[in-house]
Amino acid sequence: MNKNIRVVVGMSGGVDSSVVANRLLQQGYEVIGITMRLWPEACQNRVEEKCCGPQAVADARAVAQQLGIPHYVMDEQVQFQRHVIDYFVAEYRAGRTPNPCVLCNEGLKFGTLLDKARSLGAEYVATGHYAILEHGDRMRVRKGRDERKDQSYFLFSLSQSQLAHALFPMGDITKPETRVIAAQLGLKVATKEESQEICFVADDYRRFLRAVGVAEHAGDIVDSAGRVLGQHPGIEFFTIGQRRGLGVATGRPLYVVAIDAARNRVIVGDDAALASAECVVERCNWVSILAPEQPREVSVKIRSQHKGSAAVIEPFDGGTRVRVRFAEPERAVTPGQAAVFYDGDLLLGGGWIARTQPAQTSNS
């Protein structure tokens, strides 16, 4: 048992964090629930409430009362704007596709929330991530048992000191099992719909960008030779691999294959032009291993729902950057997204895709 070990649970008002609190109670921890209030009222009036708004706070408070644990609300509006929303908008303006969940984990859940936990005398912050954490001389992260729900991808940027004070109690169970536990406990959130990957975007990120002040600014849609095919309303509203909504009629399917922010251009091509032979990944963080010094075979996920592809990583600049050479050309490798490296289920580390190298084709 873990009597007298205090743990703060980041309670989002959802089923996962609610079951986390119960599981830790069952294991003998002293549990405190904290919900981070992230959205200013003015912002809630402009975009759909999806992340830690008033309803989430109310749900978390109700669960905490039912479990008999104290519950507090942290006002993190300024930090959320700085760490997540400003970054989200800036990445699209730079022609990259952001991954805000990684920044939220790093800056808030295991940043300001961890600081608050320590001030309350808590040893750990626990979250509802479906991942397995092995405590030891070096903290190691593995994929969660629920392969469909595994969230280890979003944890690659956490430091060893952050992981040393983290708990992921959901790593050994599946999402259906989580809902069964919640139902058995009679928790009102047992059947609550879960948030999507970007929890603060209800459906279309373009509508969100417009709601937070991104104005349209026309530019050219061009092919790989620079021929102008049409106009776009702003590079922020396009992502690599996008096919719908281009407004260009050529008689054949076209996809966004690159975004040139400096020239305010969206570059389109056929499906073959989306294939990349390699990419460069920057700002790497190594989790379960020290920074590699030699090339290494890995499985790499280039986005959260990607199944992983065989590749060789070649480190340089002391392992802060790597070149990823895919065993087979990979489709829609997107600057701004995270590339996360695995050896089996072991999370080695990851970084941010900076640029790609198109695969050579017989027609090139």
> pLDDT (tens digit, 9 = 90+) per residue, 36-71?
998 765 455 444 455 566 788 899 999 999 999 999
| Predicted local confidence at residue 42, as pLDDT | 46
Give the domain ranges of the chain.
6-185, 215-269, 274-358
Query: For residues 97 and 310, what is the distance between their CA atoms, to the nearest angstrom?
Result: 23
* Cα 231 from Cα 208, distance rounded (Å): 21
d(CA 156, CA 352): 10
**Structure tokens given for 52:** 């830690």
pLDDT of residue 192: 87
Average pLDDT, whole number, for the chain?
A: 92
Strand order across the 166-167 sheet: 71-75, 30-37, 6-10, 124-126, 166-167
Known active-site residue 279: no
Q: Is the pLDDT of residue 330 over 80?
A: yes
Architecture of domain 215-269: Roll (2.30)
Looking at residue 76, the DSSP 8-state letter turns out to be -
Q: How far is CA 181 from the centre of its chain?
A: 26
Res. 149: pLDDT tops 50: yes
Q: Which residues contact 191 (CB under 8 A, 6 or more apart)?
A: 15, 179, 183
Across the range 324-328, mean pLDDT stands at: 98
Please state, in angstroms and rounded to a whole number, the distance separating the CA atoms of residues 33 and 189.
15
Residue 52 known to be catalytic: no
- Whether 172 and 132 have beta carbons less than 8 Å apart is answered as yes
pLDDT at position 122 over 50: yes
| Residues 207, 201: Cα–Cα separation, whole Å | 9
Among the listed residues 224, 225, 223, the one whose alpha carbon sits nearest the alpha carbon of residue 248 = 223
- Cα separations in angstroms, 22 against 83, 128, 148, 188, 292: 30, 12, 23, 14, 39
Q: Which CATH architecture has domain 6-185?
A: 3-Layer(aba) Sandwich (3.40)
Share of the chain above pLDDT 70, in %: 94
Q: Indicate if the pLDDT at residue 364 is higher than 60.
A: no
pLDDT at 248: 87
Q: Do domains 215-269 and 274-358 have the same CATH topology?
A: no
Length reported for the chain: 364
Per-residue pLDDT band for 358 (boundaries 50, 70, 90) equals: confident
Supply the CATH classification number for the domain 274-358.
2.40.30.10
DSSP state of 110: I
Q: Which two tokens stand for residue 350?
A: 């990851």
Q: 249-259: per-residue pLDDT in tens? A: 878 899 999 99
pLDDT for the residue 170:
97
Q: What is the pLDDT of residue 38?
A: 85
Confidence of residue 164 (pLDDT cuts 50, 70, 90): very high
In the predicted model, is pLDDT for residue 116 greater than 50? yes
Q: Rounded to whole angstroms, how far apart are CA atoms 331 and 273?
A: 9
Per the CB < 8 A criterion, the answer to whether 10 and 24 are in contact is no
pLDDT of residue 194: 75
User: What DSSP designation does 106 have?
Assistant: I
3-class DSSP state of 43: helix
Indicate which residue of 43, 51, 101, 104 is catalytic.
104
Can you give the pLDDT at residue 360?
Answer: 64
Q: How many CB atoms lie within 10 A of CB 283?
A: 12
Helix count (H) and strand count (E) of the chain? 10, 17
- Given the residues 43, 52, 101, 199, the one annotated as active site: 199
pLDDT number for residue 363: 39
Look at residue 196 in the predicted model and tell me its pLDDT.
62
What confidence tens digit (pLDDT) does each residue in 225-254 have? 999 999 999 999 999 999 988 988 878 899
187-205 pLDDT per residue, tens? 999 988 876 667 788 778 9
Instruction: Report yes or no: 221 and 269 within 8 Å, Cβ to Cβ.
Output: no
Q: CA 303 to CA 310: how far, in whole Å?
A: 14
Instruction: Average the pLDDT over 106-124 and give the result.
Output: 96
Give the mean pLDDT of 198-213.
Answer: 86
**pLDDT (mean) for 304-325:** 97
Q: Which pLDDT does position 54 carry in this prediction?
A: 78
Which two three-digit tokens encode residue 282? 């920057």
- Note the pLDDT tens digit of each residue in 295-308: 999 999 999 999 99
Cα distance between residue 299 and residue 345, in whole Å: 9
pLDDT digits (tens, 9 = 90+) for 5-40: 999 999 999 999 999 999 999 999 999 999 999 876
Task: Please enumerate in sequence order all residues whose Cβ is within 8 A of that of 284, keeping only pairs 6 or more positions apart, or say none.
Answer: 291, 315, 319, 320, 321, 322, 349, 350, 351
Phi first, then psi: give them for residue 73, nearest 5 degrees: -115, 130
In order of 2, 142, 232, the CA distances from 5 in angstroms are 6, 24, 56
Query: What's the confidence (pLDDT) of residue 362?
Result: 36
d(CA 329, CA 274): 9
